[in-house]
Chain A
Amino acid sequence: DAGVTQSPTHLIKTRGQQVTLRCSPKSGHDTVSWYQQALGQGPQFIFQYYEEEERQRGNFPDRFSGHQFPNYSSELNVNALLLGDSALYLCASSQFYEQFFGPGTRLTVL
C-alpha cells in the first residue's frame, strides 16, 4: 500500500498565477481533506471531499477550490495566488476516525 501520495513535491509560482495540486488517497479511503500549513504553524483545514462533493469547508476564500474524481483522488486549485499562499499543502485521506496524511506539496509564491 503506497499510502497517501501528493504531487508535485515542490512548486514555485508568481503572484496572480493559478496552481493545481494533486492527491491520491490511501487504498480504500473515500474521503479526502486538504490542509494548509504555514511555516511554524499547525495545519489549517481548507475543505473535505466525499463522494465527489465538498462536504465541509474551513475559513478560506473562494480562490481555493477543489475536486474529487470517481477514483477518490483529488485536486486543490488556487487562483490569483498571493504571497501569503506560500505554505505546505497537505492532503489527508480517511475512512473512519484516523486521518492519513501525505508528505505535502511545498508551494512558494514569489
Chain B
Amino acid sequence: DAKTTQPNSMESNEEEPVHLPCNHSTISGTDYIHWYRQLPSQGPEYVIHGLTSNVNNRMASLAIAEDRKSSTLILHRATLRDAAVYYCILRDAINTDKLIFGTGTRLQVFP
C-alpha cells in the first residue's frame, strides 16, 4: 500500500487560507489522491479527491504537483469549524473502496 507523509500539526487564524501539504513519492499511475477530515468526536468525512489535475469543490481545492509526488489541500478561508485532523490518502483505482489512513495533520484554527 502506497504511503503518504504529512506534518503532525499546523495552525491557522480564522479567515486566513490554509495550505496542508502531503508527500506521496511512491504513488503509482492508478492511485487517486483523496483527502478526508475528522472533526472531534466524529467519523471521517470526505473532502476532495483528484488524479492529475487540480480540483475545486465547495469545501476546498486540491493542488497536485506535475510529477504527482506531492499535493496540497487548500482551505481558502479557515473557520473554527475547520479544526480537525486531515488525512491524505492514496486510493488504488482498482481497489476502489479500501482507504489506508496515516496519522494525518491536526489543524488548529484560532479566532
Cα-based distance from A35 to B100 in the complex (angstroms): 10
In the complex, A90 Cα to B38 Cα: how many Å?
12
Tell me the interface secondary structure of chain B in the complex. loop
Report Cα–Cα, A94/B91, bound state, in Å. Answer: 14
Q: Give the bracket for the number of chain B residues in contact with chain A.
A: 20 to 34
- Say which size band chain A's interface belongs to: 20 to 34
Contacts of B81 in A (CB 8 A): none
Give chain B interface residues in 59-100, CB to chain A under 8 Å. Answer: 85, 87, 91, 95-100
Interface residues of B (CB under 8 A from A): 32, 34, 36, 41-46, 49, 85, 87, 91, 95-104
8 contacts between A and B (CB under 8 A): A33-B99, A35-B101, A43-B101, A56-B97, A99-B46, A99-B97, A101-B43, A103-B41
